[in-house]
Structures are given as C-alpha cells and as structure tokens.
C-alpha cells in the first residue's frame, strides 16, 4: 500500500509532506445507502492525508432541507444527481463541483434465505406480511422502489407497506423481521461481490430511473482544503475499488 501512495497523490496533485502539514477537518452529509463504503474510504483517506472527516448519514431530501436552512456541512454525497444540481442552482453549492461518484442499484431483499427467488415470486403473489420501502419524498431509492412496483404492475396496499424515512431505516425494518421483504440498496446487503446474508432479487435497471449518485462541494466548504481533498479522493482508483466492491456501478 505504501508503494502505491505516491501514484495516488500525483494523480490528485498532492504531496505527502504538504498533506500532513496542512491537515484539517471537514463535515460531510452522506446518503444513507453509502454509509458503509464512505467509512472505508474515509479510513484510507485520513490515514494517508491526516485530515479528519465527520460523517452524517441520512435521507438526501432531508439533507437538502437542512443545508438550505444553514446546516454546517461542507459537502454532500447525495443518492441522486438532482439534489446537488439544485443546490448549485440555488447558490448553496459550488459551481462546477458536481460529479457522479456511483450508480446505485436497487434489490428486493429478505433476511430469510429462502424468501426471495429469481422471479420475485413472493412479491408478485402477495406472499408476504409487510414490504419495507424508503420514503419516496425524501429518498431516491424509495422513488425507484415505487417505479419498480409500477413497472411490475404489482399493487401493494398501504396496510402492507412499512415506510422508512431513509433507505437505512427501510433496511432495518427488513433486517429485523418487522418486514419480511424490503426494497433496499444493494450496497447494504452486498460485499466483495456477493450477498452477505438472506435472499435477494436484483431489480433490472430498466424498471426505474437510473440512481445516479452525485457529490457537490457546498458553499460553506468552498475554502475547506480537507473537503476538496476528500472529493478528489473519491475519484481515485483506491476509492473506486471500494465503491465497486459494494455493488455500485460506475
């Protein structure tokens, strides 16, 4: 790893000496689906640069409202590309700082290893007690779940839906058995190229709008070197490797 660091820093236009001499701190808002990957990325970033990163995870829609009302975030890693663009248009984001860091993937998942098959039969037949989804008003993965149901021509009555305020809560409902099925982010149940537990059906990307996840430097973080360095790091080969290991597309 040590032998690879110079190449990474050269790509970012940074030097080891300069980074350690100017280590700083940044606070970032991160879409809930990206909670695990960002922890691993920040661990590598902080070891290499000395910068400290404080992470807050939640629903993209809620972060938008908080940022507009002055929340102290330097950057946002959203679950869509619309919110970062909107923040720039409304002068809360730095122009030309928006970039896509991942393409999210939606899965139908159950903690029960035998519940979900390759045809999503349990969902289609109504053979489930509750289905968990993220709130479509604040979570892009929730919107994708509703689009998927529409594409499948499957109607799930509200009495059988459990709605989480974020994709993290939707996953928790399914993981704890409060819902026996859940539309969750693949990154929540996927690691190193395989399903970690339970059973899952990967939703065809044609069934919903692409979940293009974008990052933006916020006006508050315009002069924060640690925030800028972290966003650059997200584009590095080491970060890309971590992102792809959780099942995200490029």
Residues 98 and 113 in one domain: no
What pLDDT does 169 receive? Answer: 96
pLDDT category at 192 given cuts 50, 70, 90 is confident
What pLDDT does 27 receive? Answer: 98
What is the helix (H) or strand (E) element at residue 120, kind and residue range? none
Q: Which of 182, 177, 147 is nearest to 163 (CA)?
A: 182
Token pair in block for residue 200? 């899952």
Could you give phi then psi for residue 75, rounded to 5 degrees?
Answer: -155, 155
Strands 131-134 and 181-185, sheet pairing: parallel
Domain extent for 235: 5-103+210-245
The CATH number assigned to the domain holding 194 equals: 3.40.190.10
Q: What is the DSSP letter of 63?
A: H
Please say if the pLDDT value at position 10 is more than 50.
no
Domain count, the chain: 2
Please say if the pLDDT value at position 3 is more than 60.
no
Please say if the pLDDT value at position 13 is more than 90.
no
Residues 178 and 237 in one domain: no
pLDDT category at 135 given cuts 50, 70, 90 is very high
Distance CA 48, CA 66 (A): 31
- The answer to the question of residue 123 being in a domain is yes
- The answer to the question of residue 137 being in a domain is yes
What pLDDT does 96 receive? Answer: 95
Token pair in block for residue 118? 């390759």
Residues 90 and 122 in one domain: no
Please say if the pLDDT value at position 250 is more than 50.
yes
Cβ neighbour number for residue 158 with a 10 Å cutoff: 6
pLDDT category at 90 given cuts 50, 70, 90 is very high
Distance CA 183, CA 203 (A): 9
What pLDDT does 1 receive? Answer: 40
Tell me what percent of the residues of the chain surpass a pLDDT of 70.
Answer: 91
What pLDDT does 191 receive? Answer: 84
Residues 83 and 121 in one domain: no
- The answer to the question of residue 250 being in a domain is no
Residues 85 and 110 in one domain: no
Token pair in block for residue 73? 């975030």
Q: What is the pTM of this model?
A: 0.85
Please say if the pLDDT value at position 16 is more than 90.
no
Query: Across the chain, what does the average pLDDT equal?
Result: 92
Across the range 52-56, mean pLDDT stands at 98
Across the range 190-198, mean pLDDT stands at 90
- The answer to the question of residue 196 being in a domain is yes
pLDDT, tens digit (0-9, with 9 covering 90-100), for 208-217: 999 999 999 9
């Amino acid at each position: 790893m040590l032998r690879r660091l110079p190449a990474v820093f050269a790509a970012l236009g940074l030097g080891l000496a300069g980074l350690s001499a100017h280590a700083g701190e940044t606070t970032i808002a991160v879409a809930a689906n990206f909670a695990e990957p960002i922890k691993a990325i920040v661990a590598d970033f902080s070891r290499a640069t000395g910068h400290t990163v404080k992470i807050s995870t939640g629903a993209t829609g809620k972060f938008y409202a908080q940022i507009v009302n002055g929340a102290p975030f330097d950057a946002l890693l959203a679950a869509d590309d619309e919110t970062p663009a909107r923040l720039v248009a409304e002068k809360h984001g730095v122009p030309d700082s928006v970039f896509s860091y991942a393409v999210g993937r939606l899965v139908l998942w159950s903690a029960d290893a035998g519940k979900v098959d390759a045809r999503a039969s349990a969902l289609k037949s109504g053979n489930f007690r509750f289905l968990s989804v993220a709130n479509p008003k604040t979570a892009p993965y929730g919107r994708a779940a509703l689009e998927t149901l529409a594409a499948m021509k499957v109607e799930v009555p509200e009495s059988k839906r459990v709605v989480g305020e974020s994709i993290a809560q939707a996953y928790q409902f399914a993981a704890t058995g409060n819902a026996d099925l859940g539309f969750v982010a693949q990154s929540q149940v996927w690691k190193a190229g395989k399903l970690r537990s339970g059973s899952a059906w990967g939703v065809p990307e044609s069934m919903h709008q692409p979940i293009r996840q974008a990052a933006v430097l916020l006006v508050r973080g315009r002069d924060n070197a640690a925030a800028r360095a972290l966003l650059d790091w997200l584009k590095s080969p080491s970060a890309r490797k971590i992102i792809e290991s959780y099942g995200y597309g490029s």
